[in-house]
Amino acid sequence: MTGSKAFLYAAMLAAALAFGVVMLGAYVRLSQAGLGCPDWPGCYGHMVVPESVQSVVKPLEPARAWKEMIHRYFAGSLATLILVIMVMAWMKRKEPGQPLLLPTLLFGLVIFQALLGMWTVTLLLFPPVVMGHLLGGMATFVLLVLLVLQSGGYLRNGSAATPLMRGLAALGLAVLVCQIALGGWVSSNYAAIVCPDFPTCQGSWWPAMDFSNGFSWYGLGPDYQGGILDSAARVAIHVAHRLGALCTFLALGAAALLFLLNGGNRELKATGGAVLTLLLLQIVLGVSLVELGWPLPLADLHNGTAALLLASAVTLNWAAWSGKSKT
């Protein structure tokens, strides 16, 4: 094991906390509580939700405000823990195998993530910022998972992976990242429920769509809660996400299946099996969401499974590349 046990356990705790923050953030977004507190970092000028407020533009809704503030408390705790991890890394920087770059990058990322959280509120759910905030949360989680793998010295038998396996793993991860970004664009533009049927959309295999407006960045408007795009633009976003899901299933599924069947060692096979299991679960959840009318718990689970799938795809690449032979 490289590094100290204390550092490894801190990284594990941070990864678990980051996953919780991702789930909480999705719940806040999906329950329409993103503007529950119209200011940042407090709520109506307080660090706890006040019992009542007067003379404000946006009336206080305590239930929504508490959802937002609880998410901020957890995010603040995560930022503090990542700061501690970075300080520990620099203090132990002379120890053999001590990760230093990742903790430093993570601290920079969490600062930028805090800025995105502020802009999410102050820019009234501007879609590019909301999508960026989602991706930032996912990136924080998976980088912490990578830090655990690195500091714990796990899954370093990649020499058993073939060049084809490594190439497919990298391709699958790239396609998955694009698909998660598409999912964030669906969510930030409120395009999830525009197609209430599956596999068709609005009863058609190719409904009326406006890709130009669906994937354009509009200037700042008065308020993006509920979305501002028309139906054709939202349908284009939703259908693009479905097509992206198909591409992800093919690319990442092929990589996972190859690792599962021809991994070369037990660790590679197990990692491929985990990716394939999460990928199939995510497909089932996506279809179920449409069929069941997008219930909130299932939608939040869909977001959480996406985070776990991304972490498993990163782990697959780590397992394939970390022990690559130098010959």
Residues with catalytic annotation? 68
The Cα 226–Cα 26 span in angstroms is 15
DSSP code, position 46: B
Q: Please compute Rg for the chain using Cα positions.
A: 21
Contacts 24+ apart (CB under 8 A), 121-125: 121/34, 121/35, 121/37, 121/38, 121/39, 121/40, 122/40, 123/220, 124/35, 124/221, 124/222, 124/223, 124/224, 124/225, 125/34, 125/35, 125/188, 125/223, 125/224, 125/225
- The set of residues, in sequence order, having a beta carbon less than 8 Å from that of 91 and lying 6+ positions away, is none
Distances (CA, A) of 179 to 116, 273, 306: 21, 21, 10
- The set of residues, in sequence order, having a beta carbon less than 8 Å from that of 167 and lying 6+ positions away, is none
- Residue at token pair 């230093």: 100
DSSP code, position 25: H
Residues 30 and 36 sit within 8 Å (Cβ to Cβ): no
For the chain, the maximum distance between any two Cα atoms, rounded to a whole number of angstroms, is 71
DSSP code, position 218: P
